[in-house]
Amino acid sequence: MAHNIPNANRLAKLMHPKSQAMVITNVKDENSSMRTYTLKASDDHELAYFSAGAYIPVILEIDGNKIERPYAICSSPKDSVNGIYEISVKRMDGGYVSNYIYENWAVGTEVTLGGPGLGDSYSPIRDKKHVIGIAGGIGVTPFRSMAKAIVEGDVDCELTLIYGANTMEEVVYKEEWKQLEEASAGKFKCVLVIANEEIEGCEHGFVSLDIINKYHDVTDASLFISGPAGLVKHMKTILAPLNLQKRFVRIGMGGDSQFAPMEKAGQDEYKILVHMAGETREIPAKSNETILVALEKAGFVPAVKCRSGVCGFCRSYIVKGEITLADTEIAVRKRDKELGYIHPCCTFPMSDLEIIVHRG
């Protein structure tokens, strides 16, 4: 609509763009395996605003295939008003996308982002005044955004960040945590928990209830947990006896998690007959790979966002065949399950399948 677009519609378009044309203006090595990229609009467009903690899709074309991955925005909402986003990427062993980014993104590289919206952020209505963040690995990135937003006055809460790493070298944003603490008038504190080294001013070992309680009563805070599957599992275990309300324990998205199927299939390989908007093609699928991965390997570009089973954007229909779900929390509606609708990002084939998917 070029003519007098109502502001409600204009805002909706701004907040949920299909794509944002960006260019990289800065690359910073946080350590040997994580880099932070600063991006600004390459066409002067107004950046989509977000709440601290949000993820944003990076839309890539690799070897002729369109691929999308969500990354946490580690800059603050105010930074986006000032025209920039920052995202940190950790190079993973065998990581298709992270290695591509590492090898190809440099100052001046043009990048396409989607609209922010996945992930969890602070809710003054739902959450307590004090947040305890438990972070590890790349899961620490949304907390940088949150801490900045607290300092900038856009989030009204206190944050104690318990940040675990194996070695000091792995810890990122070291200087920034200190600067943010100083600027926060006591609202933000970062506690480093180093597993394999004894370092002055840091805790030693793994995150434990004792360590957390030393800084803030774990039963009187909202917990935001963001990190690799191992950390999440560990936290669930140590928190279990406390019987905390679900309301006060938020577990981060995890990003491109490595799921395992709940049941073991009879065969290693199956065939999937795929219908997508008038195109019909049979593709191979492995029983230990999600249907989404099978689709992407075969060159399809289906609708997908979180890749974690929670957003529902990849909702597809099983015409025929048996499937098993991933061993993770999946937000498929009851009725959808009954009727045969699934989220291919967290579903594995247990027989030959016929499915209907939608374009991205």
Partner 1 sequence: MKHYDAVVIGAGNGGIGTALALTTAGVKTLVLEKHNLPGGCATSFVRGRFEYDASLHAMFYDLLFKNVWENQFHITSPVTRVPDIITVAYTDTDGKNVYMDLPLGARELVMAIEKEIPGSAPVVQQYLGLCGEVLGAAKFAKSPDFTPELMQEKFPHFQMLMKMTAQEVFDYLEMPMNIQAIFNNLWWYLGPKIDEFPFFRYAPVVMMLVTMPTYFPNHACHGYLAEMETKIRENGGDVWLNTEVTEIVTKDGKVCGVKTNHGDYIETTQVIADVSPRIVFEDLIKEDSPKKQALLERQKDITENFSFTIVYLGLNKSAEELGIKAHHLFIADAADAKETYEASRGWEGPYCIGALCPNVTVKDFSPEGTCVLSLSVPMLGSALDGMTQEEYFKAKDEFAQKIIKTTGEHLGIDLFDCIEEISIATPATLSRYAGVRNGALGYARTFADIRKNEAATAQLNGGNPEEVYEGLSFVGQFAFGIGYQTNVTGIPVAMKVAQTIKGGN
* Interaction between residue 77 and partner 1 (CB under 8 A): yes
| Smallest separation, CB 86 to partner 1 (Å) | 18
- Under a CB-based contact definition with an 8 Å cutoff, are residues 360 and 302 in contact? yes
Q: Which residues of 11-37 are buried (b: 16+ CB within 10 A; e: fewer)?
A: eeeeeebeebebebeeeeebbebbbbb
Among 108, 124, 205, 299, binds partner 1 (CB under 8 A): 124
Number of residues that bind partner 1 (CB under 8 A): 46
For residue 320, give the 3-state DSSP assignment.
strand
| Smallest separation, CB 123 to partner 1 (Å) | 6
* Interaction between residue 278 and partner 1 (CB under 8 A): yes
Among 65, 66, 303, 321, binds partner 1 (CB under 8 A): 303
* Interaction between residue 334 and partner 1 (CB under 8 A): yes
Cα–Cα distance for residue pair 191/208, rounded to 1 Å = 12
In sequence order, which residues have a C-beta less than 8 Å from that of residue 351 and are 6 or more positions away?
A: 265, 266, 270, 321, 322
* Interaction between residue 9 and partner 1 (CB under 8 A): yes
Half-sphere exposure of 338 (CA within 13 A, CB side): 3
Helices assigned H by DSSP within 216-322:
229-239, 291-297
| Smallest separation, CB 24 to partner 1 (Å) | 23
**Which residues does residue 281 pair with via DSSP β-bridges, in sequence order?**
274
Residue 221, Cβ density class (10 Å: 0-12 exposed, 13-18 middle, ≥19 buried) = buried
| Smallest separation, CB 19 to partner 1 (Å) | 12
Among 11, 199, 242, 260, binds partner 1 (CB under 8 A): 11
Residue whose structure tokens are 């074309």:
61
Q: How far is CA 360 from CA 15, 276, 295, 296, in A?
A: 19, 10, 12, 11
Among 16, 214, 264, 281, binds partner 1 (CB under 8 A): 16
List the x/- string, 169-208, binding to partner 1 by CB under 8 A: ----------------------------------------
What is the DSSP pairing of strand 316-320 with strand 353-357? antiparallel
Cα–Cα distance for residue pair 170/193, rounded to 1 Å = 11
Instruction: Give me 192's structure tokens.
Output: 């480093």
Instruction: Give me 16's structure tokens.
Output: 């949920």
Among 28, 62, 81, 199, binds partner 1 (CB under 8 A): 81
Among 20, 36, 38, 51, binds partner 1 (CB under 8 A): 51
| Smallest separation, CB 296 to partner 1 (Å) | 16
Among 100, 102, 206, 313, binds partner 1 (CB under 8 A): 313
230-269: contacts with partner 1 (CB under 8 A): 245-247
Query: Closer CB to partner 1, residue 77 or residue 164?
Result: 77
* Interaction between residue 358 and partner 1 (CB under 8 A): yes
Site for partner 1, rule CB under 8 A: 1, 3, 6-9, 11-12, 14-16, 46, 48-49, 51, 77, 81, 123-126, 245-247, 277-278, 303, 310, 312-315, 317, 331-336, 339-341, 356, 358-360
